[in-house]
Chain A
Amino acid sequence: MEKHQLICIVCPMGCHLEVTKENSEYNVTGNKCPRGEKYGVKELTNPTRVVTTTVKIKDGLLNRLPVKTKEAIPKEKLFDCMKFIDSIEVKSPVCVGDIIAKDILGTGVDLVAARSM
């Protein structure tokens, strides 16, 4: 039996999880809600993260527009994604939720604006 101590990062509660694996069956304890259970299993099988960063914006109030991946992307693609996002430049006006880039790096996940500007 494998035992892993994890901290759930789904919400700021930061529950201390214990995930045990027995014959490819995962069992999660210590979670205060069902999302923690899902996270515990996923973190050991296919860890993903939401990327939040900025892109260049022209004619906006600020020089940078905050953006985020609509869903979490595989952790190992993080830096490739950053490199790709770095090449993007948008023009004001942009509305919160607007799609800035579709299906980034074949992850099936869109990049969206995190504020209007």
Chain B
Amino acid sequence: MLKYDIVVVGGGPAGLAAAIEAKKNGVDNILVIERDRELGGILQQCIHNGFGLHVFKEELTGPEYAEKFIVELKEMGIEYKLDTMVLEIGEERVISAINTEDGFMSIKAGAIILSMGCRERTRGAISIPGYRPAGVFTAGTAQRFVNMEGYMVGKKVVILGSGDIGLIMARRMTLEGAQVLAVAELMPFSGGLTRNIVQCLEDYDIPLYLSHTLMEIKGKDRVEGVVIAEVDKNRKPIKGTEKYYDCDTLLLSVGLIPENEISKNAGIKLDPITSGPIVNESMETSIEGVFACGNVVHVHDLVDFVTAESKRAGKNAARYIKKEIKCEGKIAKTEPGDGIRYIVPHMVRPENVDGTLDLSMRVDNVYKDMNMIVKLNGKEIKRMKKKHLAPGEMESVKIKKEDLVFKEDTVITVHLEKEEA
């Protein structure tokens, strides 16, 4: 059986940052396992810029951002296996993995870092009825075809869903000479970053229809058109509002789901809202010695946040190996209050907090002029003014370790309150 101190599952930005940070914290024997033909994860297909402003203070494209980490990983001599799929995480942190060179492998890990990223919701996930013609893609699949393989996926395009990947593909397809007829979004607000609505839709006069959904895909062998209709408050289509679009391609950008089949089978507890593992301040899951970071925990909109979170996971996995993590002592729970959908981490052991506790969260609606208030057992410890909040933009709050005064059964809540004019 192979043996490593730390095995990282997934070689995307999360896995790379975690492995590098673990090594910097004194662990030498690390293996990164990646199922794709190269490292870098989803970033290799995200050729647009806007990555790395926080981490590198310059605006990079996805592949540039990935390359910086890949170069660093290689320079540090961290081992990795490509084209290798992790199948299972068993008892005692034994990993089963397979590839065409080594065949089936059992790998014993001192600690595991899960960084499998996320996957896109597909047509099946949103139950679109009808035939299965060619020309229906998830936006990410189309992105991979166009940006890496060099295949154009269509000429007249309708996009369902206004997540960032959908918005970015609206621009990408337009630049490549396709006509993007419309982006239809079920919710009354976009799921993407505001800047992407501006620079991907408004720049190219692509209409965005909020509170709209797809009724029908026409065509049997190839998409021939789609029918879009407006929805009411209960997201039910309004009769008589149907519009027909003559198109050959439908891109779906209807959300991402953390990739947690392996975690589930290993018995790791998942949060039903994020679909990712429940984690503590050290990014450790419900199974001791198994850490998680990046989109496998919750879908991030910025890779910079993924990197920060993954560094924390890598550092703490190293501390775990060196037996520096304190497991006993008090544990606080975090609880989303009014206006907040979820908070990561879910649990906090104050002894292990390193300077500041970073809470990441998403709001449940679009808000203007709010106060974001953090309370510890009902007592306010932090208040921030927020001019604009949207579900598509992750919020983060830093709490100083000194402010974490703990008793048994401590609850940390975050909620929104309208700012008094």
Contacts and interface: CB of A to CB of B under 8 A. Distances in A.
Nearest to B61: A114
A30 B49 CA distance: 23
B302 A50 contact: no
B64 interface: yes
A116 interface: yes
B194 A14 contact: yes
B149 interface: yes
Contacts of A61: 37-38
A105 interface: no
B193 A12 contact: yes
A8 B387 CA distance: 14
B61 A66 contact: yes
A34 to B, nearest CB: 14
Interface in B367-415: 387-388, 393
B74 to A, nearest CB: 12
A64 B64 CA distance: 15
Contacts of A64: 147-150
A68 B53 CA distance: 16
Contacts of A53: 47, 175-176
Interface string A59-88: 001111010100000010011001000000
A54 B393 CA distance: 28
A58 B148 CA distance: 13
A56 B197 CA distance: 29
Interface string B195-224: 101110001000000000000000000000
B interface residue count range (under 10 / 10 to 19 / 20 to 34 / 35 or more): 35 or more
A14 B49 contact: no
Contact of B61 (A52, A56, A78, A116): A52
Nearest to A85: B175
Given A54-B47, A82-B175, A11 B198 contact: no
A44 interface: no
Contacts of B358: none
A21 B7 CA distance: 57
Given A7-B194, A68-B61, A114 B387 contact: no
A51 B47 CA distance: 10
A90 interface: no
Contacts of A50: 49, 59
B388 A115 contact: no
Contact of A14 (B61, B149, B195): B195
A62 B148 contact: yes
Interface string B233-249: 00000000000000000
Given A68-B49, A114-B64, A16 B387 contact: yes
Interface in A1-37: 7-9, 11-12, 14, 16, 30
B48 interface: yes
A12 B60 CA distance: 12
B154 interface: no
Nearest to A57: B150
Nearest to B387: A16
B195 A8 contact: yes
Given A49-B203, A54-B147, A64-B150, A96 B67 contact: yes
B88 interface: no
A49 B199 contact: yes
Interface in B17-67: 37-38, 44, 47-50, 53, 59, 61-64, 66-67
B335 interface: no
B301 interface: yes
B408 to A, nearest CB: 39
Given A14-B393, A50-B49, A50-B59, A96 B64 contact: yes
19 contacts: A7-B195, A7-B197, A11-B53, A14-B193, A30-B387, A49-B199, A50-B59, A52-B48, A52-B49, A53-B47, A53-B176, A62-B148, A66-B61, A66-B62, A79-B175, A82-B175, A114-B64, A115-B61, A115-B67
Q: Which 3 A-B pairs have the closest CB atoms?
A: A63-B150, A115-B63, A66-B47
Interface of A: 7-9, 11-12, 14, 16, 30, 49-54, 56, 61-64, 66, 68, 75, 78-79, 82, 96, 114-116
Given A14-B195, A56-B150, A114-B61, 10 more contacts: A9-B195, A11-B59, A16-B194, A52-B47, A52-B48, A53-B47, A64-B147, A64-B150, A79-B175, A115-B63
